[in-house]
Chain A
Amino acid sequence: MILASDKTKLSQFRGDQTAWPVYLSVGNIPKARRRQISSHATLLIGYIPVSKLECFPTGDERRYATYRLYHHCMRELLKPLIQAGKSGVSMVCADGAVRNIFPILAAYVADHPEQCLVTNVQENHCPRGKIASDLRGEPRGCVLRSVDETISLLEKHRNGEIEGDLPHGLCPVYDPFWADLPHCDIYSCITPDILHQLHKGVFKDHLVTWVTALIESEELDRRFRAMSNIPGLRHFKKGISSIQQWTGTEFKEMQKAFVPLVAGAVDSRVLQVVQAIINFIYYAQLHVHTSVTLDALEHSLALFHQHKEVLIGLGVRQHFNIAKIHSMTHYVDAIRDKGCLDGFNTELFERLHIDFAKVAYRAGNRRDYIANMTKWLVRQEAVKLRIAYLDWIAIEGKEGEDQDVQASSESELEASTNEDQDPRFSTPDTPLLYSLAKRCPFPRRKLEFLEEEHEAMTFLTAFQEFVDRTWPASTHRPSRITRYNVYKQLKITQPWNSWLGNQERRHRVRAIAPVKEARSRARPTSGYFDPVLVIEDESKYQRRTQGSLDGTYLDACWVSASI
C-alpha cells in the first residue's frame, strides 16, 4: 500500500483556502499504470484538516500541536487497516479470483517537511536515519532508524524517564499513527523525492548556485545562449538567470546541457563534481535498475563526496551539511527495497491535486468547501464507474462471440504465453522506422538546388558511392541530370528502451535550407542542418560499446546503414 499526502492551495486569489488530501494506491499495480492519471490507480481517501491552531502560542508548542493533530487524524483514517493487516480481508481481485489480502503500508510519498512530520522528526534531521544534524555532509554514518527504538524512547519521554529533548531529533509526539499498523517500518517507507531533492535541491539550489559563484551568472547565460539549436534540446535564448517559473521540465532541460556547458569554464576538479552529480541524477531516474546500475549510482555519489572538498578550497562552501544532499545517501537502499523511483514520483500527486482538489473546489460555491468537494468526487466516481462498466460490457460481449469459435485453441494459447519471455528483456524485432512528410515540399529538384541551397558540394560523389556499395549490380547510376525529392525533415522512431520508460521516442533530423531573401513577411533565417552519426559496421559498434553503461542509454541518434 502506498500513501501520499501534500498540502495544496486551492485558490490563488482568496488566501487560506488550503486542502490537505491523502492519496492511496497499491504496489500490485505496475508503476507505469499508477503514473497515469486516466487509469484511476490512485484514490483519494481523506482530507486532513488544515488550521493555524491559534489556540496554542507560536513556536514549538504550536508546531508539536500540528504534528499531534496530523497523527491523530491519520490514525483515525487508517484504523480499519490495523485489523485488516493482522487477519486479512477476502477480496475479489481483478482476475476474478478471491484472495485473502493483508494490506501493509510499504511506502509514503511526500516532500521533506511532510516526511519529517510523518516520521516525527525535527526538520533539520534526516527522516530516515539517525545521523546527527551537523554531520549530514558526510557520506556515511546514517544508520536507519528503528521503529521499536523510537516507540520506547517516546514512552520513556512521556513517563518522564528521559528529560529535555529527545535524542536523534525526535519530536515529543507520543502516538504516531504508524505505531499500531502491522509490519510497518515507517523509516524504510520514506521514499526519495526526485523532483524536490534532486532536480530542485541538489541541482538548481546547490550545484547551479555553486557554478554561478565560480563563473559569473552572465558567463553562464552567455554559454546557454551560445548553444546550437538541436531538436530535443531546449535552447535557452535569454540564458537562465531571467527565468522566473522553474518547473521540472526546466530543470531537466538544463541538466541535459549542463556538463558540456561548464566544461572549460571551471576547474577540472569542479567539473568532476558536476559530472558526478549529473550522473547520479540520471541514474536515479532509470525506470529499470540492475545491480550494475545501482553500483554505478553508488559510485557517482562516492565520486561526489571524494571531490567535493575542492569547493571548500575555492571558497564556495564551508560545509555540505544540507538535507537534500544528505538524502542522496539513502537512494540505493530505497531502490533495492522498493523498486525504481519513478513509481514514487511526487509530480504525480501534485498533478492529482488539480483533478481531485482544485477542480472539485471550483465546482462548488467555495463555502464549506471540503464537504462539497467530497460530494462532487463521489458523483464523478459514480459516473466514471458507469462508463468503465459500459466499456467493459462492450469488450466482454465481443470476446464472448470469439470464444465460441476458438474454444479448442484456448489451451494452446495458454501454453505459449507461459513460455513467452518477460517483455522487458526481449529485444524488439521491429525494424527501425522512419517517417517523412506526406507531401514533398521540394519535389524533383536539380542537383544545383542541393549544391546551392544546401551547400552539399560532395553530394553526388557520396551518393554514387553509396549506390555502388549497396546495389553493385544496378544499372542505374545517379548522374548530374538526376532529379531529387528533397524533404525538410526525417523522423526516426527509436527502438523500445525499457531503461527509459515505455513511451515511444522519436528523433527529428532536419535539413532546412537558409531563407536568404525576405518574402513578404518572412524574415531571413539561418538554415538548420542536424548532424547524424551513422553506424557503418554494426559488429564493430557492438564490440566497442560492450561493457560500457553509457552505450546502453546514450540518447544518440543512429541510423542503421540498411535504410
Chain B
Amino acid sequence: MQWHCDEVEVQGTLVGEDGKEMVESLELWRRDPVECIQELLGNPAFRDEMRYEPERVYADAGAKTRVFDEM
C-alpha cells in the first residue's frame, strides 16, 4: 500500500519578521483507508472468525437474557 504525503500549510495570526503573517508548513503522511479495510477484510488468516453481518445473541432459548460481547 502506498503512502502519500500531503503538505499542510498553516497560516498563523502572529506577524513574522518580514511583516507578513507567519506560515508553517507541515507534512501529513497517510494511506488510503479503503485499501486498508480491504487488506483487513481479505486477510485469509481471519477466514473462520470473521463476521459479516450483525447478530443478536441471547443466552437462553427464551431470548430473555441478551448477551453483549462483540460489536
Contacts and interface: CB of A to CB of B under 8 A. Distances in A.
Contacts of A370: 27, 29
A26 B37 contact: yes
Interface in B1-39: 1, 3, 5-6, 8, 10-14, 16, 21-24, 26-34, 36-39
A343 B41 contact: no
Contact of B10 (A61, A65, A81, A89): A65
Interface residues of B, number: 49
Interface in B28-71: 28-34, 36-47, 49-52, 57, 59, 65-71
B33 A80 contact: yes
B66 A28 contact: no
A290 B71 contact: no
A41 B40 contact: yes
Contact of B29 (A29, A89, A371): A371
A77 B70 contact: no
Interface in A371-426: 371, 374-375, 377-378, 381, 388, 392, 422, 424-425
B26 to A, nearest CB: 4
Contact of A94 (B10, B11, B21, B44): B44
A77 B30 contact: yes
B68 A292 contact: no
A93 interface: yes
A422 B58 CA distance: 11
Contact of B41 (A101, A339, A377, A392): A101
A108 to B, nearest CB: 13
A78 interface: yes
Nearest to B23: A55
A502 to B, nearest CB: 11
The dominant DSSP class at the A interface is mixed
B70 A424 contact: no
Interface in A37-73: 39-41, 43-49, 51, 53-57, 61, 65, 69, 72-73
Contacts of B69: 31, 287-289, 339-340, 424
A56 B14 contact: yes
Given A28-B50, A45-B30, A290-B68, A72 B40 contact: no
A27 B71 contact: yes
Given A25-B40, A80-B34, A375-B3, 18 more contacts: A26-B41, A29-B40, A31-B70, A45-B36, A46-B31, A53-B10, A53-B24, A55-B16, A55-B21, A55-B23, A56-B14, A76-B8, A78-B33, A91-B38, A101-B37, A339-B68, A343-B70, A378-B3
The 9 closest A-B pairs by CB, nearest first: A55-B12, A55-B22, A49-B26, A46-B30, A27-B71, A94-B47, A374-B3, A339-B71, A288-B69
